[in-house]
A and B are shown apart, each in its own frame.
Chain A
Amino acid sequence: MNTVIQVSSVSKSFGTHHVLEEISLNVEKNEIYGLLGPSGAGKTTIVKMIAGIETPTKGSIQVLDTFMPNLYNMTRIGFMAQSDALYTELSGKENLEFFASIYGLKGKKQKERLEHTASLVNLTDFLKKPVHQYSGGMKRRLSLAAALLHEPEILILDEPTVGIDPVLRQSIWNELYKLSEAGTTILVTTHVMDEAEKCGKLGMLRDGRLIASGSPKELKESTSSATIEDAFLYYGGVRHEN
């Protein structure tokens, strides 16, 4: 069994508002799994539940064979939220130091990881600057660095490349491939169709339902579409006919 994340018939509602209905999906080790869907489809709610912040109304979620939420498991997950959760009064370095010490990284090890992740996202020269002087893209990169600090086995990224220029986006994806090869399982959400092509496996989410899943190639072939967008339209249309 190499299934790292197992979501079984999960539903989530806030009051009478049903956000997710009967979602089941599996993410295998080393995989880059992309959750694709328009905003409001429920992507963030799913990843929050997998990260252990939210709990499902129905169904269950297992991460690394343990039911979530589980505090120990949270040390094995790196989470990058959709909004840049950074302390803007502090410098980039101070932000990273804070998150590193929360994960118990100290002294030499902390310094080492800090330098490594900062260079990974091209921020080494800006670490001393207070974060409120950062551009949107820099903040996203710092958030990513913060999620990578403790070398998590699972990386959950909620819309990681919003507002990042294409060159840097490419370098972030290259880094994700490298991490994946090294054994990290990555779950990423996106609403950008062309970015979805970069994932090993895709789950298409619309109105709180998983309308299709498979590799980008499979999804395109089985619907004889030229692009992921066409495939998404196809699956979305099928549901409407029901």
Chain B
Amino acid sequence: MRTRALVKRIIRQFIRDKRTLAMMFLAPLFILTLVNLVFSGNEYEPEIAVISDQVQLTELLEKTDEAFITYENSKIAAVDIEDEKLDAIVKINPPSTTITLEGSNPTANKAVMVTVEKALKSLNPENNQQISMKTEIDYLHGSAEMESFDYIGPFLIGFFIFFFVFLIAGVSFLRERTTGTLERLLATPMRRWEMVAGYVLGFGVFTIIQSAIIVSFAIYVLDIMMAGSIWFVILITLMLAVTALSLGTLLSAFAKNELQMIQFIPLVVVPQVFFSGLFNIETMADWLQPLSYLMPLTYGGQAIRDVMIQGGGWSQVYDEVLILAGFSLLFMVLNVLALKKHRKL
């Protein structure tokens, strides 16, 4: 079987190329770890000065949150906020309450507002002499412990697999052309579809390993939130990888050299970042939204998120998996046709 010969050859070549192997397997892990560290750093702890005539109130506030520090003198507080020792000053002189934010750091601002809001909420019931009522916060998905990485992580897993497979498969297929081996193969009775199938299967072996490594790493080492089954995630990432693989080999037909292949990244890969759900599609211009339907990553990212955050099963992801399979098939057929440029038969 000629396809089998091709698959065997690709595997052998790939194993020899240690650096590309590392790029495929380790680079995504490296970047994921980095993103994890960036996004799940410790929460910002604000320093908030409380100035009030009512000693009772300031003591209460100090008890509810460590962030609050009682200041007797508003002048000292003003100096400290100028020196960035404080993030905010809360002046409570019933009936008015004023909050002065330091204001230069958005993260700090947000943290202050959240802290103050929380504290006031917990004080209010008692002040009003109402029946003590606990505010309960429920989460439909995720939890109070959920970090930003849990939200963007599933998408990033999909993206990095797509990106690296696209590049490596595209360049490999391109090299077949530039080194003259494609022509040599076309002088053999190998059919065009056998060639495309050989490439997909040969690289497919490595994408299976890659998907398994990246997904396991994200779940077990980076401790990303995982509500569903790991097997679905691996299945989806694998489908995404095959899509990237078939798209990369297809587009390599339109590149003359490696540099031109890399030029496809801003054209093909980067736009997918914007449309694939990392950013809110609903808030985009109306005419722009349909574009997201054309992006394989839209379906991959959505499906991975369905499984990892919402704990979805086959019934939630089968349509996305089928669409990705459809994309792959389409790209492969187009590639068989594109190879006609090199041999009519």
A residues near B, CB below 8 A? 48, 51-55, 69-72, 74-75, 77, 79, 81-90, 94, 98-99, 101-104, 130
> How far is the CB of A149 from the nearest CB of chain B, in Å?
10
Interface contact A101-B5, CB-CB below 8 Å: yes
Give A53 to B192 CA distance when docked, in angstroms: 12
Kindly state whether residue B85 has any CB partner on chain A within 8 Å.
no
Interface contact B189-A98, CB-CB below 8 Å: no
Interface contact A90-B188, CB-CB below 8 Å: no
Name the residue on A nearest B342 (C-beta): A53
A87 to chain B: which residues have CB within 8 Å?
A: 9, 13, 181
Kindly state whether residue B344 has any CB partner on chain A within 8 Å.
yes
Name the residue on A nearest B182 (C-beta): A85
Give A130 to B18 CA distance when docked, in angstroms: 15
A69 to chain B: which residues have CB within 8 Å?
A: 343-345
Interface residue from A53, A54, A90, A99 paired with B13 (Cβ < 8 Å): A90
Q: How many residues of B contact A (CB 8 A)?
A: 26
A81 to chain B: which residues have CB within 8 Å?
A: 180, 183-184, 187
Interface contact A90-B9, CB-CB below 8 Å: yes
> How far is the CB of B16 from the nearest CB of chain A, in Å?
4
Counting from the closest, the 10 A-B pairs by CB-CB distance are A85-B184, A101-B5, A79-B187, A83-B180, A89-B16, A85-B180, A85-B181, A74-B189, A98-B9, A69-B345
A90-B16 CB under 8 A given contacts A79-B184, A79-B187, A85-B180 = yes
Name the residue on B nearest A47 (C-beta): B187
Interface contact A102-B181, CB-CB below 8 Å: no
15 chain-A/chain-B pairs, Cβ below 8 angstroms? A69-B343, A69-B344, A70-B345, A83-B179, A83-B180, A85-B179, A85-B185, A86-B179, A87-B181, A88-B179, A89-B17, A90-B9, A90-B13, A98-B5, A101-B5
> How far is the CB of A53 from the nearest CB of chain B, in Å?
5
Kindly state whether residue B12 has any CB partner on chain A within 8 Å.
yes
Interface contact A71-B191, CB-CB below 8 Å: yes
Kindly state whether residue B91 has any CB partner on chain A within 8 Å.
no
Give A32 to B152 CA distance when docked, in angstroms: 67
A52 to chain B: which residues have CB within 8 Å?
A: 187, 343, 345
Kindly state whether residue B186 has any CB partner on chain A within 8 Å.
yes
Residues of B294-345 at the interface with A, using a CB-CB cut-off of 8 Å, are 342-345
Residues of B270-309 at the interface with A, using a CB-CB cut-off of 8 Å, are none
A85 to chain B: which residues have CB within 8 Å?
A: 179-181, 183-185
B181 to chain A: which residues have CB within 8 Å?
A: 85-87
Give A21 to B5 CA distance when docked, in angstroms: 39
> How far is the CB of B247 from the nearest CB of chain A, in Å?
24
Name the residue on B nearest A71 (C-beta): B189
Interface residue from A53, A84, A89, A103 paired with B186 (Cβ < 8 Å): A53
Give A79 to B190 CA distance when docked, in angstroms: 13
> How far is the CB of B3 from the nearest CB of chain A, in Å?
10
> How far is the CB of B323 from the nearest CB of chain A, in Å?
34
A48 to chain B: which residues have CB within 8 Å?
A: 183
Interface contact B180-A51, CB-CB below 8 Å: no
> How far is the CB of B170 from the nearest CB of chain A, in Å?
18
Interface residue from A82, A86, A94, A102 paired with B188 (Cβ < 8 Å): A102
Name the residue on B nearest A146 (C-beta): B184
Q: Mark B163-188, 1 if CB is under 8 A from A, else 0.
A: 00000000000000001110111111
Name the residue on A nearest B16 (C-beta): A89
B187 to chain A: which residues have CB within 8 Å?
A: 51-53, 74, 77, 79, 81
B118 to chain A: which residues have CB within 8 Å?
A: none
Besides the known contacts A53-B342, A82-B180, 15 further A-B residue pairs in the complex with CB atoms under 8 A apart: A52-B187, A53-B186, A69-B343, A71-B345, A77-B187, A79-B188, A81-B183, A85-B179, A89-B12, A89-B17, A98-B6, A98-B8, A102-B2, A102-B185, A103-B189
> How far is the CB of B19 from the nearest CB of chain A, in Å?
11
A55 to chain B: which residues have CB within 8 Å?
A: 344
B190 to chain A: which residues have CB within 8 Å?
A: 102
Give A104 to B345 CA distance when docked, in angstroms: 19
Name the residue on B nearest A51 (C-beta): B187
Give A55 to B344 CA distance when docked, in angstroms: 7
Interface contact A99-B344, CB-CB below 8 Å: no
Name the residue on A nearest B20 (C-beta): A89
Give A104 to B190 CA distance when docked, in angstroms: 10
> How far is the CB of A159 from the nearest CB of chain B, in Å?
13
Give A88 to B187 CA distance when docked, in angstroms: 19
Give A71 to B184 CA distance when docked, in angstroms: 14
Give A204 to B247 CA distance when docked, in angstroms: 45
Give A85 to B190 CA distance when docked, in angstroms: 15
> How far is the CB of B183 from the nearest CB of chain A, in Å?
6
Residues of B1-54 at the interface with A, using a CB-CB cut-off of 8 Å, are 2, 4-6, 8-9, 12-13, 16-17
> How far is the CB of A128 from the nearest CB of chain B, in Å?
13
Give A103 to B16 CA distance when docked, in angstroms: 24
A89 to chain B: which residues have CB within 8 Å?
A: 12-13, 16-17
A130 to chain B: which residues have CB within 8 Å?
A: 16
Interface contact B9-A53, CB-CB below 8 Å: no
Give A130 to B8 CA distance when docked, in angstroms: 16
Give A72 to B342 CA distance when docked, in angstroms: 18
